[in-house]
Chain A
Amino acid sequence: MRVYPAVFALGLRRYSAYRAATFAGLLTNCVFGVINALVLLALFAVRPQINGYDSGDAVTQVFVAQSLIAAVAVMGPPLDLDERVRSGAVATDLLRPVSLTAWWLFDDLGRAAFQLLFRSVPTFGVGALLFDLRLPDCALRWTAVLASFALAVVVSFGLRYLYALSGFWLLDTRGVWAVAGLLGPVAAGMLLPLPLFPAAIGEVLRLLPWASMVQVPADVLLGKDTLPGGGVPGGLAVQAAWAVVLLALGAWTATRATRRVVVQGG
């Protein structure tokens, strides 16, 4: 099926239309990265070790988080699907001879690919210039990081697709997003690295899919032994498992949504 690569390409091209927004977002990521890094450096100056994390780990995770903010869209924006369900325009999506889930997955992967290239890479580069980041020392580890970022994007799609599909029942997903946009960044380890939470809370948050969007990629980059199975392969496996579970759940929900629920509008 060559339609999905084509959808991916269009998704990527769509975002390249908004250059000023991309640059503004990039600037925001860098500024917040610096502020967060300075705050955490101040904290670690008082307590050099927290749950096996030191200042280098923390500052590195800050820039992983800022780099991934746009690609995994943990605070939004929602998929275009949300608005299309609300307005009833999803009817035209259902009239295409393709899977709804795959169509939106590839559209979103196109978006994320653009964000990885033009938001993540420069943000992380700026972080590496200004601070002493912990970087992988060999090509294999870098490959693992790339794989982990890619899986983070798929997990992110899986979650946002479910948020969007809730619109078939709730009619509007703004409530879902109000909650997800607030709790998502906390559970992902984007607001603060999860090791800085009280151990019990941190352990619970690590079990949830949101951790696969920031905390796990950061741990993979740092090569932490706190990952499941004690290392990088375990981290990637957890991400892959969440990606599969969420996509399967999304596809199943989509089938139910389109069978049972009304497409809105005349």
Chain B
Amino acid sequence: MSPEHAPVVEAVGLGRDFTVREGRFPRRRRRTVSAVRDVDLTVHPGEIVGYLGPNGAGKSSTMKMLTGILTPTSGRVRVTGLDPSRERTRLASRIGVVFGQRTSLWWDLPLWDSLALTRHLYRVPADDHARRLAELTGVLELGPFLSTPVRQLSLGQRMRGDLAAALLHGPRLLVLDEPTIGLDVVSKSTIREFLLRLNAREGTTILLTTHDLGDVERLCERVVVVDRGGIAYDGGLDGLRASVPAPRVLVVDLAAPAPPIEVPGGHCTRVEGPRQWLELSANPARVISEVAGAHEVVDLTLREPGIESVVAALYRAGSPSAV
């Protein structure tokens, strides 16, 4: 395969064990814990892949192995054709990484200084750097705070600064670990729109972990759900919805409070005064006519399962202990 079409990320049987020491001396014992187990993951150029999983599922450990700062204990991994942990510094020039809870910017200096340093860091020609900096400053609206020390930036501003720093050298792959964590709605949407544009215009491959299902619904055509270290689902967002039996819900407003409704194909799960929630297991039209025949109905709403309930159901199915 030509380099442009070769997978950007290729992991086979990737795993990472940690040795945990327990107890006090002299009864100290060692126990091996698998943070990541047997992960197979292939990401092709131009994809946006969402990497989901509950806390402790091994998402960050996987990202650390893909970027070379954690050495796998089993399996094989190639990122842009390189072995991340052995060729970490070479790989660093080809990828951009943002950890939402960390910053790569110089804390006590103006944002501009950190961005200027990336030119030397990645040996970008001065013209290219100036052009990309101008572009990113425009799209990410960095202008107003370029000369502000990083420690004085708001979280949203700092995040945009970190994104710019990760992208100034034009990486082929952008790895984002919880990029919208702690951001307000407007900042989240600014960053999502920016990532979509980046992916569309430059074909940058994006791999992101997140707990924010808004990120997933807006950005990802493909999602990978990990649980207890292994992969629980890998495929399209629609397929994810179909893979878990998350029922549709009919919300019924009655004229007056009534005992919980039970009809064929509809099972009441919640009552709040005159409003009742029915979980549907049959054709909604039939359930609606049944309900309308037996009660005086003021209003009806049919709710599709949100991706949130789908993922929650998937986590529960995969691991009774997690969540």
Contact = CB atoms under 8 A, between A and B. Distances in A.
Interface of A: 1-3, 6-7, 10, 13-14, 17, 88-89, 91-92, 94-99, 258-260, 262-263, 265-266
Contacts of B18: 262
A265 B101 contact: yes
A7 B109 CA distance: 12
Contact of B92 (A97, A262, A265, A266): A97
A3 B121 contact: yes
Contacts of B60: 266
A97 B69 contact: no
Contacts of A89: 102-103
B121 A98 contact: yes
Most chain-B CB neighbours within 10 Å: which of A1, A96, A99?
A96
Nearest to A93: B104
B113 A92 contact: no
B117 A91 contact: no
Contacts of B120: 1-3, 6
Given A92-B99, A94-B88, A259-B85, A13 B109 contact: yes
A14 B323 CA distance: 43
Contacts of B64: 91, 263
Given A13-B109, A265-B101, 12 more contacts: A1-B120, A3-B117, A3-B123, A6-B120, A10-B113, A17-B109, A91-B99, A92-B102, A94-B68, A95-B97, A97-B90, A263-B69
A89 B69 CA distance: 12
Contacts of B291: none
A91 B102 contact: yes
How big is chain B's contact interface, by range? 20 to 34
Given A13-B109, A97-B90, A92 B104 contact: yes
Contacts of A13: 109, 113
Contacts of B109: 10, 13-14, 17
Nearest to A259: B71
A265 B63 CA distance: 13
A97 B94 CA distance: 9
Contacts of A3: 117, 120-121, 123
Nearest to B59: A266
B149 to A, nearest CB: 8
Given A3-B120, A6-B117, A263-B70, A95 B104 contact: yes
Nearest to B97: A95
Contacts of B272: none
A91 B92 CA distance: 12
B119 to A, nearest CB: 8
A13 B109 CA distance: 8
Contacts of A94: 68-69, 88
Contacts of A88: 102
Given A3-B117, A89-B102, A95 B69 contact: yes
B276 interface: no
